[in-house]
Amino acid sequence: MLVDKELEEIMKKKMAEMTTQKEPKILELTDTNFDNAITGDKPVLVDFWATWCGPCQFMLPIFTRLSKKYKTIKFARVNVDDAPGISARYGVYAIPTFVVFKNGQLVDKAVGAVGEPGIHMLAQKYA
């Protein structure tokens, strides 16, 4: 029964490690929190998307995966249907559009389903 006890202890330790590891969170931005989210000195890479947009859905797992890789950048998303004012303010007329903000200013933009290389290039520039 010693093996069972040891195994149980190992499993408890592993579970504790897994629950304390922080996953980078992709922020959901709205009219309420957008300006505050982009004003820090940490770059923010924003995905402008919509639920009905096929290319947006294609890009989501890529965006999520790269958010885990680039920890020096905040990753966020704006649903253009819920926040049309933000989209218009930054000239987002096609989706998906990926915009990088630094110190509250738009510094870079990529339009379309640019794939992993496109997001990687944007993130790498500002990481």
Asked if residue 91 is part of any domain, the answer here is yes
pLDDT digits (tens, 9 = 90+) for 96-107: 999 999 999 999
Asked if residue 3 is part of any domain, the answer here is no
Q: How far apart are CA 26 and CA 68, in angstroms?
A: 9
pLDDT digits (tens, 9 = 90+) for 25-77: 899 999 999 999 999 889 999 999 999 999 999 999 999 999 999 999 999 99
pTM (two decimals): 0.81
Residues with active-site annotation: 53, 56
Asked if residue 56 is part of any domain, the answer here is yes
CATH code, domain with 79: 3.40.30.10
Of 123, 118, 101, nearest to 78 (Cα)?
A: 101
Whether the pLDDT of residue 113 is over 90: the answer is yes
Asked if residue 82 is part of any domain, the answer here is yes
Tokens of 99: 């915009």
Find the domain containing 73 and state its range.
24-126
The whole-number pLDDT of residue 14 equals: 72
What's the total number of domains in the chain? Answer: 1
